[in-house]
Amino acid sequence: MKARVHVMLKDGVLDPQGEAVRHALGALGFDGVEGVRQGKVIELDLAEGTDEATVREMCEKLLANTVIESYQVELV
């Protein structure tokens, strides 16, 4: 089974990487880009029967820095 985890910076946390992308898109002539946030997506290939709670524990312990990042778990 597979799980997909999205890790994004929380609202209000400065995202310089996203800001750089926004600026670069403007410089390339793409108008109307009002904001960009960049995060991580982690695709996990797991043993059958792994439950969502285990994946959430992985997020808390390793995948996300919960002080500044939020995460979403999706089992596929």
Nearest approach in angstroms of CB 14 to its own copies is 15
- In the shown chain, the binding pattern of residues 49 to 68 toward its own copies, with x for contact by CB under 8 A and - for none, equals -x---x--xx--xxx-----
Smallest Cα–Cα separation from 8: which of 40, 36, 44, 33?
40
Query: Is 37 in contact with 2 (CB distance < 8 Å)?
Result: no
DSSP-derived secondary structure letter, 13: S
Residue number with CB closer to its own copies (43 or 52): 43
- The CA distances from residue 60 to 39, 43, 54, 70, 71, in Å, are 16, 16, 10, 10, 9
- In the shown chain, the binding pattern of residues 3 to 42 toward its own copies, with x for contact by CB under 8 A and - for none, equals ---x-x---------x--x--xx--x-xxxxxxxxxxxxx
Q: In the complex, which residues of this chain contact its own copies (CB under 8 A)?
A: 6, 8, 18, 21, 24-25, 28, 30-47, 50, 54, 57-58, 61-63
